[in-house]
C-alpha cells in the first residue's frame, strides 16, 4: 500500500464542462484504493461535480473562479496538504503557474492536446492515436509519458458491464433505447436542441437523456417528459455504465466520455462541442470508430439527423463501430495510471 499524498486540481466550468473532474475522480478512486491520501483543489463548478459524484468524506479545498487567484491558492493547498504529487487536469495555466505547483513535489499532467510545454514529471495523454513521441520536446527530459486510450481513466463499473454489453451488441436485435448525453453542463442548451430535433424522427424509441441539475435544458425537458413517458431524464446520474450498456445507439459529446462509450462498444454519433474535441473526433470518424458531427456547423441539425438515421437503419454499421471502438479501450486505464504514478 502506498503512503503518497496527492492533490488533484481539475478545471471545470459552464464552457469547459465536468469531464476533467470526472476523470480525476476515477483516478482518485484508483489511487485511494492503493493507499494514497487524495484531496481536491476545486473552483465552485468543480465543487458542484464533486458534491454530486464524489465520496462524502472527500477532502476538497476551495478555489476561486478567478484563475489568477486559484492557481497560487492551489499551490498553497498543495504545500499545506504536504502533497508528494499534484495531479493537474487543466489547460488554462501558464508555465510559471505549473512550475509553482511542481515546486517541492512532482507534477502529473493530463494532456490530450500535446500542443504546448508541460512542466510535468509524468504526462498522461489518453488521446486516440497518441504516442510518447507526440510529447517529445514538450515534456521535460526524463519525464514519463503514458499515451493512448489504454490509459483512459474510466470508472470501474464500465469494465464490469463490458462483457455483457459486447455480447448483446454482437447478437443484435430490435432497437429500443437511444442515449443522449451531451455533458452535465449542457453547453448552450444543446441537449434540448438535440432532443427536439430527434424526438419526432424516432417516436418509437425510448430516449434516455442525461444532464446535470443546473443544465439550461432541464426545465423544458422536465415539462416535456411529463407528457412523453418514453422520454426519460437522468439528472446527475451515477448509473452511466448501466445506461450506456443498455443503449442501442447514442448521441454523445466528444471528450472523456468517448472512452466510457468505447468500453461498452456503444455505437455513437459524436457531437463536437469544443475546439479541443475536434481533432480526435474527426480522426476517429475517419477510421470508422464513430460518426462525428460538429455543433458549430451551419447545417449541424441536418447532419446530426442524417447520422443518427444511419445508425438506426444500418445494423452492420452499428456492429462495426461497436467492435472497433471496443478494441481501443478496456476500461482498466485508471489502474494502469495509478500503478505508474505510485511506483
Averaged confidence pLDDT in the chain: 95
pLDDT given for residue 67 in this prediction = 93
* Residue-level pLDDT at 263: 98
Q: Integer distance in angstroms from the first to the last C-alpha of the chain?
A: 11
Same fold, 5-147 and 156-326: yes
| Better-scored residue on pLDDT, 82 or 2 | 82
Going by C-alpha positions, the residue among 142, 153, 220 that lies closest to residue 10 is 153
Per-residue pLDDT at 11 exceeds 80: yes
Buried b (16+ CB within 10 A) or exposed e, 78-94: beebebbbbbbbbbebe
Reference 143, options 116, 192, 106; nearest CA is 106
Identify the pLDDT of residue 173.
86
Sign for the CA dihedral angle at 270, 273, 276, 282 comes to positive
pLDDT tens readout for residues 254-271 = 988 999 999 999 999 999
How many residues are recorded in the chain?
343
Tell me which architecture the domain covering 5-147 has in CATH.
Answer: 3-Layer(aba) Sandwich (3.40)
Please give the torsion angle defined by the CA atoms of residues 210, 214, 215 and 221, in that order, rounded to the nearest 10 degrees: 70
Reply yes or no on whether the pLDDT at 1 is more than 80.
Answer: no
In three-state secondary structure terms, 289 is coil
Domain ranges of the chain: 5-147, 156-326
Of residues 17 and 38, more confidence is placed in 38
Res. 60 pLDDT band, cuts 50 70 90: very high
The pLDDT assigned to 317 comes to 97
Which pLDDT score is estimated for 180?
Answer: 98
Alpha helical stretches, state H, the chain: 19-33, 44-53, 67-80, 95-102, 156-171, 190-198, 218-225, 240-246, 257-263, 278-286, 300-313, 315-326, 333-342
- pLDDT confidence band for 232 (50 / 70 / 90): very high
What is the distance between the alpha carbons of residues 103 and 76, in angstroms, rounded to a whole number?
11
Sign of CA dihedral 275, 276, 279, 283: negative
Overall average pLDDT of the 29-33 stretch: 96
Nearest Cα to 286, choosing from 265, 270, 306, 266?
270
Confidence band, pLDDT 50/70/90 cuts, at residue 66: very high
What pLDDT does residue 2 have? 79
Tally Cβ neighbours within 10 Å of residue 137.
8
- Confidence class for position 276, pLDDT limits 50, 70, 90: confident
Indicate if the pLDDT at residue 14 is higher than 90.
Answer: no
Whole-structure pTM value: 0.92
**What pLDDT, on a 0 to 100 scale, did the predictor assign at position 17?**
84
Nearest to 129 by CA among 111, 147, 152: 147
Mean pLDDT of 64-84: 96
Instruction: Check residue 265 and give its pLDDT.
Output: 98
| Per-residue model confidence (pLDDT) at position 15 | 80
SS3 234: strand
> Does CATH number 3.40.640.10 belong to domain 156-326?
no
pLDDT at 169: 95
CA pair distance 123, 114, nearest whole angstrom: 10
Reduce the DSSP state of residue 103 to 3 states and report it.
coil
Q: For the segment 113-171, what is each residue's pLDDT rounded down to a tens digit?
A: 899 999 999 999 999 999 999 999 999 999 999 999 999 999 999 999 999 999 999 99
Alpha-carbon gap, residue 44 to 65, rounded angstroms: 7
Q: Phi/psi class of residue 304: alpha, beta or left (left: φ > 0; alpha: ψ in -120 to 50)?
A: alpha
Instruction: Determine the pLDDT at residue 24.
Output: 97
Scan for cell 445507439, then name that residue.
Answer: 249
Q: What is the mean pLDDT of residues 21-41?
A: 97
Amino acid at each position: 500500500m502506498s503512503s503518497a499524498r496527492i492533490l488533484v486540481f481539475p478545471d471545470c466550468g459552464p464552457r469547459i464542462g465536468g469531464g476533467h473532474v470526472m476523470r480525476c475522480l476515477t483516478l482518485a478512486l484508483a489511487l485511494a484504493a492503493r493507499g494514497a491520501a487524495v484531496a481536491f483543489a476545486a473552483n465552485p463548478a468543480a465543487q458542484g461535480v464533486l458534491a454530486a459524484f464524489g465520496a462524502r468524506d472527500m477532502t476538497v479545498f476551495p478555489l476561486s473562479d478567478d484563475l489568477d487567484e486559484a492557481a497560487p491558492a492551489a499551490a498553497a493547498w498543495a504545500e499545506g496538504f504536504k502533497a508528494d504529487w499534484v495531479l493537474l487536469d487543466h489547460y488554462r495555466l501558464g508555465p510559471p503557474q505549473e512550475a509553482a505547483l511542481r515546486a517541492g513535489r512532482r507534477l502529473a499532467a493530463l494532456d490530450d492536446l500535446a500542443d504546448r510545454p508541460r512542466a510535468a514529471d509524468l504526462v498522461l495523454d489518453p488521446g486516440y492515436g497518441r504516442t510518447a513521441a507526440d510529447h517529445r520536446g514538450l515534456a521535460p527530459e526524463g519525464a514519463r509519458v503514458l499515451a493512448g486510450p489504454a490509459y483512459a481513466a474510466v470508472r470501474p463499473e464500465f469494465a464490469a458491464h463490458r462483457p455483457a454489453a459486447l455480447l448483446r451488441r454482437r447478437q443484435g436485435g430490435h432497437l429500443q433505447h437511444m442515449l443522449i448525453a451531451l455533458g452535465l453542463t449542457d453547453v448552450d442548451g444543446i441537449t434540448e436542441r438535440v432532443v427536439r430535433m430527434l424526438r419526432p424522427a424516432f417516436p418509437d424509441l425510448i430516449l434516455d437523456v442525461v444532464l446535470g441539475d443546473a443544465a439550461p435544458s432541464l426545465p423544458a425537458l422536465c415539462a416535456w417528459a411529463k407528457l412523453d413517458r418514453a422520454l426519460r431524464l437522468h439528472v446527475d446520474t451515477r448509473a452511466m455504465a448501466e445506461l450506456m450498456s443498455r443503449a442501442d445507439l447514442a448521441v454523445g459529446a466528444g471528450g472523456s466520455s468517448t472512452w466510457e462509450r468505447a468500453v461498452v462498444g456503444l455505437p455513437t454519433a459524436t457531437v463536437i462541442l469544443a475546439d479541443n474535441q475536434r481533432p480526435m473526433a474527426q480522426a476517429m470518424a475517419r477510421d470508422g470508430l464513430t460518426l462525428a458531427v460538429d455543433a458549430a456547423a451551419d447545417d449541424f441539425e441536418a447532419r446530426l439527423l442524417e447520422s443518427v438515421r444511419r445508425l438506426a437503419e444500418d445494423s452492420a454499421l452499428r456492429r462495426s463501430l461497436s467492435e472497433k471502438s471496443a478494441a481501443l479501450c478496456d476500461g482498466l486505464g485508471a489502474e494502469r495510471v495509478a500503478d505508474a504514478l505510485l511506483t
